[in-house]
Amino acid sequence: MREFNTSGPCNPSLHYTVMREALVATGQEKVRKGRYFTLFAPRQSGKTTYFQLLLETLKAEKFIPIWVSFENLKTVTREVFYRNLNNQLHQELGKYQLKLQQIITNQVEMVEFFEDIESRCQTKSLVLVIDEFEGIPDVVLSEVMHSFRQMYHRQKYHALHSLILVGVSTIAELVTSGASPFNIAEELKVSYFTRAEVNSLIKQSVKESGQTFEDKVIKAIYDNTKGQPGLVCALAADLIEKVQNRPVTMADFLGTLNVFLKSRYDKNILNIVQKAKQKKAFMYRLLFDEEPIDFSIHAEDIAYLHANGVIENVENHVGILVPLYSKCIITAFRPVFNGERRHYGLEANDTFNEYLQDEGLNIHALLNKYRQYVRRRGFKAFDTKHLKEGAWHYSLDGFINFFIEALEGQTFIEVPSGAGRTDILIVYQNHRYLIEVKVFTNNTLFKKGKGQLAEYLKSEDLDEGYYVVFSNVHNDANTLYFEEEIAGKQIYTYIICTQFPTPSRLPVPESLKLTETEKTLARTEGSLTTARQNILDILVLRFDPPYSLYQEIEQHLLTLSDETELKKLLIAAVKSENVRHFQSEIMT
């Protein structure tokens, strides 16, 4: 029985394989016309499988395909490069009983080599495939490209009928020279699998193994990978290995997805994440900023990330085509420790029952708890120094994840289309909850986000969703909670105010530094500040007072400088029946 291939090219007799008939036919036509063309795609995207399928069809048309690779040659000397190329070409020709005396030691002798084949063997049907072309040493790049250009224009004098350069997208940068033979021939790009091809691939497995998949699982595999061949096969192989004698369900898929996000050593994903980390500031902006970024290959960060398969040109804007890449990058950027859990407002006997209702979760209670936490902690709730645009997302994500894990549920990152959109999907028992996280920019985008969430809920077959928007322009005088029905979906909007005083980080001039007496007074004031903040924390934790009332109490506490009196008020904050009762206490 065949299997899903997760490493190297597919062999149709051993692996479930998408045969790419239309793409193979396109390649055949180019070869028939004697084209020299490029074939490029990111790693593990199926290009090696494709050109091997193409070569098999060319053999049937009496072409002589030969394959060489420039892998691991990038740093070798000119002499070593030509010696290696010479050996590979002689070995490949030997498979067809074609033997030559010609030795290649430079670019001129490389051209003569193919002329010698034509004169000795009376054939013009050679098709040369150079794999890993981006591995060509810089010292020989120009002369090799010029030689191929010369051969393209003098095809009647040598045996090389067609040339195919294969590599990752960086090959595009290597062939932009005006001297390149490829400026007169279109390139051939190996696209990812279509939804139909993913379905066909998995159906091959179902037919041979009897292991069925729920339709939702097949859709989820495509939606998370957008047909990236390496990821499609890796996800399917993991599911087949773990699930036996019953259909593969969405619960199984979510378990596998969690493994890929957090603990799977998938070389494809690891490579993407490592490249993204090299341009972390740019990636934060791409992932969390609502403003789209125009695609330009001339921008250094964009060129690097595009060349390494992290980003794509999506309708003239920078985008990450594969959602699983986005999820893995966001997960990889998540702080291992944020130091905030001790400030979440937990009590010694907290059982988290307040977050449960009707065999599911009370998301409203959880989001209200988060609002209290942010009001208590202020700017300290957000690591804006290290996380930049992602600070808001990671703050809420860390808070939600802490409580959901305690309740034995799971959280997942979702990345629906649209700039600056990141969602938190909560799975608890048989229930799913979706929280969309955004930063307020203006009312137009704010309202547009609600519509996008409604559409996403529809695609996920959910009736309601939560819209959490961080804003530094809203305050307690504004409406900070909405309940609306949009396109038949219930949307609950929570606006989280982020107007916080920021402590000054300016260096203190020598003339302004405190004397010892002033330091003593400052320590006393520090104790008073802590005592006042403890009172406010208790009030927020117990009563979550309106912001205007919170400010009124805070201003009154600032007038008090007696530690004994503040201790009495702390006790009153603990014992008061409600916040108004406490307010009457401090006014007496």
| DSSP string across 449-506 | HHHHHHHHHHHTT-SEEEEEEEESS--TTS--EEEEEETTEEEEEEEEE--------P
Tell me the sheet residues that pair with 39: 166, 188
Sorted by where each begins, the domain ranges of the chain are: 21-189, 195-326, 335-497, 512-587
Q: What class is the 21-189 domain?
A: alpha beta
Distance CA 239, CA 248 (A): 7
Q: How far is CA 180 from CA 117, 151, 160, 184, in A?
A: 24, 11, 17, 9
pLDDT score of 345: 75
pLDDT score of 526: 66
pLDDT score of 262: 83
Tell me the sheet residues that pair with 130: 68, 165
Q: Residues 6 or more apart from 10 whose CB is under 8 A from it?
A: 16, 17, 46, 49
Tokens for 183, please give them.
């400026």
Polymer length in residues for the chain: 588
Write phi, then psi, for 513 (nearest 5 degrees): -70, 150
- The residues of the chain scoring below 70 in pLDDT are 169-186, 336-339, 348, 383-389, 416-421, 501-526, 541, 547, 588
pLDDT score of 227: 94
How many CB atoms are located within 10 Å of the residue 513 CB?
9
Please tell me whether the overall predicted TM-score, pTM, comes out greater than 0.85 for this model: no
